[in-house]
Amino acid sequence: MADKYKIAVIEGDGIGPEIIGEALKVLDKVSGLYGFSMQTVMLDAGGVSIDKNGVPLTDETLAACRNSDAVLLGAVGGPKWDGLDPSIRPEKALLGLRSGLGLYANLRPAKLFDELAHASPIKDIKDVDILFVRELTGGIYFGDNGEYDSDEVLPDGTVKGHVAYDTECYSEGEILRILKIAFEAAKGRRQKVTLVDKANVLASSRLWRKLFGQVAKDYPDIATECLYVDNCSMQLISRPSEFDVIVTSNMFGDILSDEAGMITGSVGMLPSASLGTPGTPGLFEPIHGSAPDIAGTGKANPCAAILSVAMMLRYSLGQPLAADAIERAVADVISSGFRTSDLYREGSGEIFVNLSEITLAILKTLG
Ligand code: NAD
Protein backbone atom coordinates (compact mmCIF):
# COMPACT_ATOMS: atom_id res chain seq x y z
CA MET A 1 0.00 0.00 0.00
CA ALA A 2 1.21 3.53 -0.82
CA ASP A 3 2.50 5.67 2.06
CA LYS A 4 -0.07 8.14 3.36
CA TYR A 5 1.06 11.25 5.23
CA LYS A 6 -0.88 13.61 7.41
CA ILE A 7 0.29 17.20 6.82
CA ALA A 8 -0.72 20.02 9.15
CA VAL A 9 -0.94 23.18 7.02
CA ILE A 10 -0.78 26.64 8.57
CA GLU A 11 -1.20 29.31 5.92
CA GLY A 12 -0.89 32.22 8.37
CA ASP A 13 -1.12 35.88 7.36
CA GLY A 14 -0.24 38.24 4.50
CA ILE A 15 1.14 36.28 1.53
CA GLY A 16 1.02 33.06 3.61
CA PRO A 17 -2.21 31.69 2.10
CA GLU A 18 -1.07 32.54 -1.46
CA ILE A 19 2.36 30.89 -1.31
CA ILE A 20 1.09 27.85 0.60
CA GLY A 21 -1.69 27.39 -1.98
CA GLU A 22 1.01 27.17 -4.67
CA ALA A 23 3.22 24.89 -2.56
CA LEU A 24 0.31 22.47 -2.06
CA LYS A 25 -0.17 22.24 -5.84
CA VAL A 26 3.44 21.06 -6.11
CA LEU A 27 3.05 18.62 -3.21
CA ASP A 28 -0.05 17.20 -4.86
CA LYS A 29 1.79 16.79 -8.15
CA VAL A 30 4.80 14.95 -6.71
CA SER A 31 2.57 12.70 -4.62
CA GLY A 32 1.04 11.44 -7.86
CA LEU A 33 4.42 11.10 -9.54
CA TYR A 34 6.13 9.31 -6.65
CA GLY A 35 3.21 7.16 -5.46
CA PHE A 36 2.29 8.45 -2.01
CA SER A 37 -0.81 10.18 -0.74
CA MET A 38 -1.59 12.91 1.77
CA GLN A 39 -4.25 14.12 4.05
CA THR A 40 -3.93 17.86 4.69
CA VAL A 41 -5.35 19.42 7.84
CA MET A 42 -5.79 23.19 7.51
CA LEU A 43 -5.06 25.06 10.77
CA ASP A 44 -4.94 28.67 11.94
CA ALA A 45 -2.01 30.34 13.70
CA GLY A 46 -0.68 33.90 13.91
CA GLY A 47 -2.81 36.98 13.30
CA VAL A 48 -5.67 35.04 11.78
CA SER A 49 -5.89 32.96 14.96
CA ILE A 50 -5.81 36.09 17.14
CA ASP A 51 -8.81 37.40 15.18
CA LYS A 52 -10.72 34.13 15.51
CA ASN A 53 -9.62 32.82 18.90
CA GLY A 54 -7.96 35.70 20.77
CA VAL A 55 -4.58 33.89 20.85
CA PRO A 56 -1.90 33.29 18.17
CA LEU A 57 -1.77 29.53 18.78
CA THR A 58 -4.54 27.46 20.32
CA ASP A 59 -3.98 24.19 22.19
CA GLU A 60 -6.11 22.49 19.53
CA THR A 61 -3.84 23.71 16.71
CA LEU A 62 -0.74 22.56 18.56
CA ALA A 63 -2.33 19.17 19.29
CA ALA A 64 -3.29 18.77 15.60
CA CYS A 65 0.32 19.60 14.61
CA ARG A 66 1.65 17.03 17.09
CA ASN A 67 -0.71 14.51 15.56
CA SER A 68 0.68 15.00 12.04
CA ASP A 69 3.71 13.73 10.12
CA ALA A 70 4.89 17.26 9.29
CA VAL A 71 3.81 20.89 9.55
CA LEU A 72 3.94 23.27 6.57
CA LEU A 73 3.74 26.96 7.46
CA GLY A 74 3.48 30.14 5.35
CA ALA A 75 4.26 33.17 7.51
CA VAL A 76 2.61 35.04 10.36
CA GLY A 77 2.26 38.67 11.39
CA GLY A 78 1.38 42.01 9.90
CA PRO A 79 0.69 45.64 10.75
CA LYS A 80 -2.86 44.85 11.90
CA TRP A 81 -1.45 43.13 15.00
CA ASP A 82 1.69 45.24 15.56
CA GLY A 83 0.14 47.23 18.41
CA LEU A 84 -0.72 44.17 20.49
CA ASP A 85 1.06 43.23 23.69
CA PRO A 86 4.20 41.17 22.80
CA SER A 87 2.80 38.18 24.73
CA ILE A 88 -0.05 37.74 22.22
CA ARG A 89 1.62 38.95 19.00
CA PRO A 90 1.33 36.62 15.95
CA GLU A 91 5.05 35.71 16.09
CA LYS A 92 4.39 34.02 19.46
CA ALA A 93 2.78 31.24 17.43
CA LEU A 94 6.21 30.34 16.01
CA LEU A 95 7.79 30.10 19.45
CA GLY A 96 4.81 28.06 20.67
CA LEU A 97 5.15 25.64 17.76
CA ARG A 98 8.93 25.30 18.17
CA SER A 99 8.79 24.62 21.89
CA GLY A 100 5.52 22.62 21.72
CA LEU A 101 6.95 20.29 19.06
CA GLY A 102 10.43 20.12 20.64
CA LEU A 103 12.12 21.44 17.48
CA TYR A 104 15.76 21.78 18.48
CA ALA A 105 17.43 21.79 15.05
CA ASN A 106 16.96 24.55 12.51
CA LEU A 107 18.16 23.73 9.00
CA ARG A 108 18.57 26.69 6.70
CA PRO A 109 20.06 26.20 3.25
CA ALA A 110 21.71 29.24 1.71
CA LYS A 111 21.88 28.23 -1.93
CA LEU A 112 22.76 30.60 -4.70
CA PHE A 113 21.01 30.08 -8.01
CA ASP A 114 23.81 31.08 -10.38
CA GLU A 115 21.34 32.93 -12.66
CA LEU A 116 20.41 35.12 -9.67
CA ALA A 117 24.01 35.93 -8.72
CA HIS A 118 23.48 39.54 -9.85
CA ALA A 119 21.17 40.00 -6.82
CA SER A 120 24.00 39.11 -4.42
CA PRO A 121 25.94 41.96 -2.82
CA ILE A 122 29.13 39.95 -3.52
CA LYS A 123 30.56 40.32 -7.01
CA ASP A 124 31.55 37.30 -9.14
CA ILE A 125 29.88 34.94 -6.68
CA LYS A 126 29.07 31.37 -7.75
CA ASP A 127 28.68 27.78 -6.52
CA VAL A 128 27.36 28.69 -3.07
CA ASP A 129 25.38 25.89 -1.41
CA ILE A 130 25.58 26.02 2.39
CA LEU A 131 23.36 24.23 4.89
CA PHE A 132 23.20 25.90 8.30
CA VAL A 133 22.35 23.58 11.16
CA ARG A 134 21.49 25.86 14.05
CA GLU A 135 20.69 24.70 17.59
CA LEU A 136 17.26 26.15 18.29
CA THR A 137 16.13 25.50 21.83
CA GLY A 138 19.21 26.10 24.00
CA GLY A 139 22.01 28.58 24.55
CA ILE A 140 21.84 32.22 25.50
CA TYR A 141 18.24 32.76 24.32
CA PHE A 142 17.04 30.22 26.87
CA GLY A 143 19.71 30.47 29.62
CA ASP A 144 19.39 32.10 33.01
CA ASN A 145 18.88 35.86 32.69
CA GLY A 146 18.05 38.73 34.95
CA GLU A 147 18.70 42.26 36.12
CA TYR A 148 19.94 43.79 39.37
CA ASP A 149 21.46 46.99 40.75
CA SER A 150 25.09 47.22 41.76
CA ASP A 151 27.10 49.99 43.41
CA GLU A 152 30.36 48.24 42.62
CA VAL A 153 32.98 50.65 41.22
CA LEU A 154 35.02 49.73 38.11
CA PRO A 155 38.82 50.42 38.06
CA ASP A 156 38.30 53.69 36.15
CA GLY A 157 35.84 54.93 38.78
CA THR A 158 32.65 54.17 36.82
CA VAL A 159 29.82 52.88 39.03
CA LYS A 160 28.18 49.78 37.55
CA GLY A 161 24.59 50.82 38.36
CA HIS A 162 21.92 48.71 36.69
CA VAL A 163 23.14 45.32 35.39
CA ALA A 164 21.47 42.90 32.96
CA TYR A 165 22.77 39.44 32.06
CA ASP A 166 22.06 36.41 29.85
CA THR A 167 23.76 33.05 30.17
CA GLU A 168 25.09 30.80 27.42
CA CYS A 169 24.59 27.26 28.76
CA TYR A 170 24.76 24.01 26.78
CA SER A 171 24.61 20.40 27.89
CA GLU A 172 26.41 17.45 26.32
CA GLY A 173 23.06 15.96 25.25
CA GLU A 174 21.91 19.15 23.54
CA ILE A 175 25.17 19.48 21.61
CA LEU A 176 25.50 15.82 20.62
CA ARG A 177 22.02 15.59 19.10
CA ILE A 178 22.53 18.64 16.86
CA LEU A 179 26.05 17.55 15.83
CA LYS A 180 24.63 14.21 14.68
CA ILE A 181 22.03 15.98 12.54
CA ALA A 182 24.81 18.04 10.93
CA PHE A 183 27.01 15.02 10.15
CA GLU A 184 24.06 13.00 8.83
CA ALA A 185 23.06 15.92 6.58
CA ALA A 186 26.65 16.20 5.25
CA LYS A 187 26.57 12.53 4.18
CA GLY A 188 24.03 13.38 1.47
CA ARG A 189 25.88 16.54 0.43
CA ARG A 190 29.53 17.48 -0.17
CA GLN A 191 30.81 15.65 2.93
CA LYS A 192 32.11 18.54 4.97
CA VAL A 193 31.05 19.97 8.35
CA THR A 194 32.31 23.25 9.82
CA LEU A 195 31.81 23.92 13.51
CA VAL A 196 31.48 27.61 14.35
CA ASP A 197 32.15 28.64 17.93
CA LYS A 198 34.10 31.01 20.14
CA ALA A 199 36.22 28.38 21.86
CA ASN A 200 39.05 30.85 22.51
CA VAL A 201 36.76 32.65 24.99
CA LEU A 202 33.69 30.60 25.93
CA ALA A 203 33.62 27.45 28.07
CA SER A 204 30.40 26.33 26.37
CA SER A 205 32.15 26.57 22.97
CA ARG A 206 35.01 24.41 24.27
CA LEU A 207 32.44 21.72 25.09
CA TRP A 208 31.04 22.02 21.54
CA ARG A 209 34.56 21.62 20.14
CA LYS A 210 35.39 18.58 22.28
CA LEU A 211 32.15 16.81 21.35
CA PHE A 212 32.56 17.78 17.67
CA GLY A 213 35.90 15.93 17.65
CA GLN A 214 34.27 12.89 19.25
CA VAL A 215 31.31 12.72 16.86
CA ALA A 216 33.59 13.29 13.84
CA LYS A 217 35.32 9.96 14.62
CA ASP A 218 32.04 8.19 13.77
CA TYR A 219 32.05 9.85 10.33
CA PRO A 220 35.54 9.17 8.91
CA ASP A 221 34.48 10.15 5.37
CA ILE A 222 33.35 13.64 6.39
CA ALA A 223 35.93 16.43 6.33
CA THR A 224 35.79 18.75 9.35
CA GLU A 225 36.88 22.26 10.21
CA CYS A 226 36.45 24.51 13.26
CA LEU A 227 36.18 28.29 12.93
CA TYR A 228 35.75 31.07 15.45
CA VAL A 229 32.53 32.94 14.77
CA ASP A 230 34.25 36.26 14.01
CA ASN A 231 36.49 34.55 11.47
CA CYS A 232 33.53 32.67 9.96
CA SER A 233 31.60 35.90 9.41
CA MET A 234 34.52 37.05 7.21
CA GLN A 235 35.06 33.71 5.46
CA LEU A 236 31.38 33.61 4.46
CA ILE A 237 32.04 36.70 2.40
CA SER A 238 35.51 35.82 1.10
CA ARG A 239 35.10 32.09 0.27
CA PRO A 240 31.38 31.16 0.55
CA SER A 241 31.62 28.34 -1.99
CA GLU A 242 33.97 26.37 0.27
CA PHE A 243 31.36 25.75 2.97
CA ASP A 244 29.03 22.77 2.95
CA VAL A 245 27.33 22.15 6.32
CA ILE A 246 27.85 24.70 9.11
CA VAL A 247 26.78 23.62 12.60
CA THR A 248 26.57 26.11 15.43
CA SER A 249 24.80 27.37 18.53
CA ASN A 250 21.50 29.20 18.65
CA MET A 251 22.77 32.80 18.65
CA PHE A 252 25.70 32.33 16.24
CA GLY A 253 23.39 30.44 13.87
CA ASP A 254 20.76 33.15 14.08
CA ILE A 255 23.25 35.80 12.96
CA LEU A 256 25.33 33.84 10.44
CA SER A 257 22.37 32.23 8.64
CA ASP A 258 20.94 35.70 8.00
CA GLU A 259 24.32 36.84 6.68
CA ALA A 260 24.47 33.83 4.36
CA GLY A 261 20.86 34.36 3.25
CA MET A 262 21.78 37.88 2.21
CA ILE A 263 24.75 36.56 0.21
CA THR A 264 22.36 34.54 -1.96
CA GLY A 265 20.44 37.73 -2.63
CA SER A 266 16.84 36.53 -2.68
CA VAL A 267 14.63 36.10 0.35
CA GLY A 268 11.87 34.61 -1.83
CA MET A 269 14.02 31.57 -2.66
CA LEU A 270 15.07 30.38 0.81
CA PRO A 271 13.28 27.57 2.69
CA SER A 272 13.88 26.22 6.20
CA ALA A 273 13.21 23.18 8.34
CA SER A 274 12.98 22.83 12.10
CA LEU A 275 13.42 19.29 13.36
CA GLY A 276 13.10 17.51 16.70
CA THR A 277 13.44 13.96 17.91
CA PRO A 278 13.00 11.43 15.09
CA GLY A 279 9.35 10.44 14.90
CA THR A 280 8.06 13.88 15.89
CA PRO A 281 6.75 16.19 13.14
CA GLY A 282 9.13 18.75 11.67
CA LEU A 283 8.11 22.31 10.80
CA PHE A 284 8.84 23.59 7.29
CA GLU A 285 8.54 27.24 6.29
CA PRO A 286 10.09 29.90 4.06
CA ILE A 287 12.54 32.17 5.87
CA HIS A 288 10.72 35.32 4.74
CA GLY A 289 7.85 36.96 6.58
CA SER A 290 4.24 37.65 5.59
CA ALA A 291 5.18 40.52 3.19
CA PRO A 292 2.01 42.53 3.86
CA ASP A 293 3.17 45.13 1.30
CA ILE A 294 2.52 42.70 -1.59
CA ALA A 295 -0.22 40.45 -0.12
CA GLY A 296 -3.07 39.85 -2.57
CA THR A 297 -1.19 41.27 -5.58
CA GLY A 298 0.11 37.97 -7.03
CA LYS A 299 3.65 39.37 -6.76
CA ALA A 300 4.85 36.96 -4.05
CA ASN A 301 7.51 34.46 -5.02
CA PRO A 302 6.26 31.00 -3.95
CA CYS A 303 9.66 29.27 -4.50
CA ALA A 304 10.75 29.44 -0.84
CA ALA A 305 7.47 27.76 0.18
CA ILE A 306 7.81 25.20 -2.62
CA LEU A 307 11.41 24.44 -1.60
CA SER A 308 10.14 24.08 2.00
CA VAL A 309 7.90 21.28 0.69
CA ALA A 310 11.04 19.66 -0.75
CA MET A 311 12.72 19.86 2.67
CA MET A 312 9.59 18.34 4.25
CA LEU A 313 9.71 15.43 1.81
CA ARG A 314 13.41 14.88 2.49
CA TYR A 315 13.62 15.32 6.26
CA SER A 316 10.19 14.29 7.61
CA LEU A 317 8.47 12.10 5.03
CA GLY A 318 11.36 10.00 3.71
CA GLN A 319 10.73 10.88 0.04
CA PRO A 320 14.17 12.14 -1.09
CA LEU A 321 13.51 11.47 -4.78
CA ALA A 322 10.43 13.69 -4.76
CA ALA A 323 12.46 16.33 -2.89
CA ASP A 324 15.24 16.19 -5.49
CA ALA A 325 12.68 16.49 -8.29
CA ILE A 326 11.18 19.66 -6.82
CA GLU A 327 14.59 21.25 -6.30
CA ARG A 328 15.62 20.38 -9.87
CA ALA A 329 12.34 21.77 -11.26
CA VAL A 330 12.74 25.07 -9.40
CA ALA A 331 16.35 25.37 -10.62
CA ASP A 332 15.28 24.58 -14.21
CA VAL A 333 12.51 27.18 -14.14
CA ILE A 334 14.91 29.82 -12.82
CA SER A 335 17.49 28.91 -15.44
CA SER A 336 14.78 29.13 -18.14
CA GLY A 337 14.41 32.79 -17.15
CA PHE A 338 11.10 32.83 -15.26
CA ARG A 339 11.13 35.61 -12.65
CA THR A 340 8.61 36.87 -10.09
CA SER A 341 8.59 40.59 -9.24
CA ASP A 342 11.27 40.28 -6.53
CA LEU A 343 13.79 38.96 -9.08
CA TYR A 344 12.71 40.43 -12.41
CA ARG A 345 14.96 42.98 -14.15
CA GLU A 346 13.47 45.26 -16.78
CA GLY A 347 15.10 44.85 -20.20
CA SER A 348 16.96 41.67 -19.21
CA GLY A 349 15.01 39.31 -21.49
CA GLU A 350 13.69 37.47 -18.44
CA ILE A 351 10.08 36.21 -18.38
CA PHE A 352 8.01 38.19 -15.86
CA VAL A 353 5.50 35.93 -14.09
CA ASN A 354 3.14 36.07 -11.13
CA LEU A 355 3.07 33.45 -8.38
CA SER A 356 0.62 31.06 -10.11
CA GLU A 357 2.47 31.30 -13.40
CA ILE A 358 5.84 30.36 -11.91
CA THR A 359 4.18 27.45 -10.09
CA LEU A 360 2.65 26.31 -13.37
CA ALA A 361 6.09 26.35 -14.97
CA ILE A 362 7.42 24.25 -12.06
CA LEU A 363 4.51 21.80 -12.37
CA LYS A 364 5.12 21.43 -16.12
CA THR A 365 8.83 20.83 -15.53
CA LEU A 366 8.00 18.12 -13.00
CA GLY A 367 6.22 16.24 -15.79
P1 NAD B 1 9.17 40.18 5.07
O2 NAD B 1 10.09 39.03 4.84
O3 NAD B 1 7.74 39.85 5.21
O4 NAD B 1 9.33 41.24 3.89
C5 NAD B 1 10.55 41.92 3.61
C6 NAD B 1 10.56 42.36 2.15
O7 NAD B 1 10.73 41.22 1.31
C8 NAD B 1 9.26 43.01 1.70
O9 NAD B 1 9.54 44.02 0.78
C10 NAD B 1 8.50 41.91 1.00
O11 NAD B 1 7.60 42.36 0.02
C12 NAD B 1 9.63 41.08 0.43
N13 NAD B 1 9.27 39.66 0.37
C14 NAD B 1 9.21 38.79 1.41
N15 NAD B 1 8.85 37.58 0.99
C16 NAD B 1 8.67 37.68 -0.35
C17 NAD B 1 8.30 36.75 -1.35
N18 NAD B 1 8.01 35.47 -1.09
N19 NAD B 1 8.22 37.19 -2.63
C20 NAD B 1 8.51 38.47 -2.94
N21 NAD B 1 8.89 39.39 -2.03
C22 NAD B 1 8.96 39.00 -0.75
O23 NAD B 1 9.71 40.92 6.39
P24 NAD B 1 9.06 42.15 7.18
O25 NAD B 1 8.46 43.12 6.23
O26 NAD B 1 10.11 42.57 8.12
O27 NAD B 1 7.90 41.50 8.05
C28 NAD B 1 6.52 41.50 7.69
C29 NAD B 1 5.76 40.71 8.74
O30 NAD B 1 6.19 39.34 8.73
C31 NAD B 1 6.01 41.22 10.17
O32 NAD B 1 4.80 41.16 10.88
C33 NAD B 1 7.02 40.24 10.73
O34 NAD B 1 6.93 40.12 12.12
C35 NAD B 1 6.56 38.95 10.05
N36 NAD B 1 7.61 37.91 9.94
C37 NAD B 1 7.18 36.64 10.06
C38 NAD B 1 8.08 35.61 9.89
C39 NAD B 1 7.58 34.20 9.96
O40 NAD B 1 6.38 33.98 9.95
N41 NAD B 1 8.45 33.21 10.02
C42 NAD B 1 9.44 35.88 9.59
C43 NAD B 1 9.83 37.22 9.46
C44 NAD B 1 8.90 38.23 9.62
CATH number of 1-113+276-367: 3.40.718.10
Ligand 1 atom showing the smallest separation from residue 292 Cα: 28
pLDDT (tens digit per residue) in 177-189: 999 999 999 998 9
Average pLDDT over residues 172-197: 96
pLDDT (tens digit per residue) in 263-292: 988 889 999 999 998 889 999 999 999 999
Per-domain residue ranges of the chain: 1-113+276-367, 121-263
Q: Is 254 a known active-site residue?
A: yes
pLDDT-derived band at 173 (thresholds 50, 70, 90) equals very high
Please say if the pLDDT value at position 1 is more than 70: no
| The model's pTM | 0.93
Average per-residue pLDDT for the chain: 96
- CA 219 to chain centroid, in Å, comes to 25
Please say if the pLDDT value at position 305 is more than 80: yes
pLDDT (tens digit per residue) in 209-232: 999 999 999 999 999 999 999 999
Task: Quote the percentage of the chain above a pLDDT of 90.
Answer: 93
Q: Is 80 a known active-site residue?
A: no
Query: Which mutation among 290, 299, 352 tests ligand 1's pocket best, with the greatest number of atoms within 8 A of CB?
Result: 290
80-84 contacts, C-beta under 8 A, 24 or more apart: 80/47, 81/47, 81/50, 84/50
pLDDT-derived band at 50 (thresholds 50, 70, 90) equals very high
Binding-site residues, ligand 1, Cβ < 6 A: 15, 19, 75-78, 91, 94, 267-268, 285, 288-294, 300-301, 304, 342
pLDDT (tens digit per residue) in 308-350: 999 999 999 999 999 999 999 999 999 999 999 999 999 999 9
Q: Is 228 a known active-site residue?
A: no
The per-residue pLDDT for 362 is 98
The per-residue pLDDT for 278 is 84
pLDDT (tens digit per residue) in 74-92: 999 999 999 998 788 999 9
Task: Quote the percentage of the chain above a pLDDT of 70.
Answer: 99
pLDDT-derived band at 2 (thresholds 50, 70, 90) equals low
Fold of 121-263: Isopropylmalate Dehydrogenase (3.40.718)
The per-residue pLDDT for 296 is 97
